């Protein structure tokens, strides 16, 4: 590993990080900064481990910057699907552009849990569903979104939504998109009323949260665009750049009256500040409900915007966080200007 950092060997990128004891920073293997002596380094296999040992990310190689960034050629495909969902991009089309279909397939399976062709189908059905909701005829929608026959459209629609296109108006839809951040990729969900989900893709509770939202809204969750996503992406980018302290987004966070009160109180915690669970309970006028408050915090499905990361233990410990304690520490450090 030491030889790899001397050689700036790109084949080791993502496999380990170099922690420099004398400066307290950690770097990627390809960092261009002056190399430390061998006795002054230790190696770890994750950003989480480096942060856990108290190291700060290097400002030159930015080891926490978009760890799962979408390659430009993938982003081009995503943009095409979003802008022209009726156009089918086949394996032959990919090869004509000198893209390897198997590589595209693996990338989508890892990041979206489905192949690229399945992603296209889901996006196309999302578009068709919305057109039907707007009053367009089944025939116009079917052929306008790239289907070659009404029967093929009907079968695909029923497979996903469980009803025929004519019965689809009684259904709802939750749009889902993937957003990259400096501390990992997130899934965002939205309904017409606002953002209903913002979670890191590796959160263990994510499948349960998606099922809860789908049941509440009587909706199918599909990849697709939403009127709220552009503002969400912009404001998250501003937040991580340090230029935004308050989010101005409509939120749709179904829950009990108590959960709603807890989540609203979370949004009153100032940027860069922290509050203990007992302090949060007292602010709600329920000083004895500390455990209930902690449970409601854990049920928050809209991370960062509803800032449950700002609540810590009475002794100053980080306690739990659905996105992982290392992310909680990172967010608090960022808001305090300590990165």
The catalytic site residues sit at 308
Q: Residue 50 and residue 40: Cα distance in Å, rounded?
A: 15
Q: Residue 103 and residue 109: Cα distance in Å, rounded?
A: 10
3-state DSSP call for residue 83?
Answer: helix
Q: Residue 183 and residue 329: Cα distance in Å, rounded?
A: 11
Place of tokens 């939504």: 161
Q: Residue 339 and residue 337: Cα distance in Å, rounded?
A: 6
Q: What is the dihedral of CA 147, 148, 151, 157, to 10 degrees?
A: -10
For residue 20, the cross-strand partners are: 25, 41
For residue 82, the cross-strand partners are: none
Beta strands (DSSP E) in the chain are: 17-20, 25-27, 41-44, 56-57, 172-181, 184-191, 194-200, 219-223, 275-276, 311-312
**Phi, psi for residue 107 in degrees, rounded to 5:** -65, -45
Tokens standing for residue 166: 């004519």
Tokens standing for residue 145: 């979104």
Tokens standing for residue 204: 């263990």
**Phi, psi for residue 101 in degrees, rounded to 5:** -55, -35
CB-facing half-sphere around the CA of 137: CA atoms within 13 A: 4
For residue 217, the cross-strand partners are: none
Q: Residue 12 and residue 338: Cα distance in Å, rounded?
A: 28
């Amino acid at each position: 590993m030491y030889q790899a950092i001397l050689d700036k060997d790109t084949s080791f990128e993502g496999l380990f990080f170099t922690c420099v004891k004398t400066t307290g920073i950690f770097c990627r293997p390809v960092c261009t900064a002056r190399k430390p002596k061998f006795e002054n380094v230790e190696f770890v296999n994750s950003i989480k481990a480096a942060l856990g040992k108290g190291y700060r990310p290097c400002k030159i190689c930015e080891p926490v910057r978009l760890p799962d960034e979408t390659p430009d050629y993938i982003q081009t495909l995503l943009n095409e699907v979003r802008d022209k969902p009726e156009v089918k991009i086949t394996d032959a089309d990919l090869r004509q552009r000198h893209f390897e279909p198997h590589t595209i397939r693996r990338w989508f399976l890892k990041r979206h849990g489905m192949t690229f062709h399945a992603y296209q189908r889901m996006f196309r059905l999302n578009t068709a569903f919305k057109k039907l909701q707007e009053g367009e005829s089944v025939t116009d929608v079917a052929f306008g979104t790239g289907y070659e026959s009404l029967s093929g459209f009907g079968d695909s629609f029923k497979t996903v939504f469980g009803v025929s296109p004519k019965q689809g108006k009684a259904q709802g839809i939750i749009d889902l998109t993937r957003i990259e951040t400096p501390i990992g990729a997130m899934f965002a969900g939205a309904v017409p009323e606002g953002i209903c989900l913002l979670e890191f893709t590796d959160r263990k509770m994510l499948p349960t949260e998606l099922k809860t939202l789908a049941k509440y809204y009587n909706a199918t969750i599909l990849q697709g665009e939403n009127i709220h996503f552009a503002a969400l992406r912009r404001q998250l980018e501003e937040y991580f750049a340090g230029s935004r302290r308050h989010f101005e987004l409509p939120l749709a966070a179904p829950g009990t009256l108590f959960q709603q009160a807890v989540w609203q109180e979370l949004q009153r915690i100032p940027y860069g500040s922290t509050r203990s669970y007992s302090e949060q309970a007292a602010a709600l006028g329920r000083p004895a409900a500390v455990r209930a408050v902690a449970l409601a915090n854990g049920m928050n499905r809209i991370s960062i915007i509803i800032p449950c990361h700002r609540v810590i233990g009475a002794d100053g410990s980080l306690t739990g966080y659905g996105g992982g304690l290392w992310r909680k520490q990172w967010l608090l450090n960022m808001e305090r200007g300590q990165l």
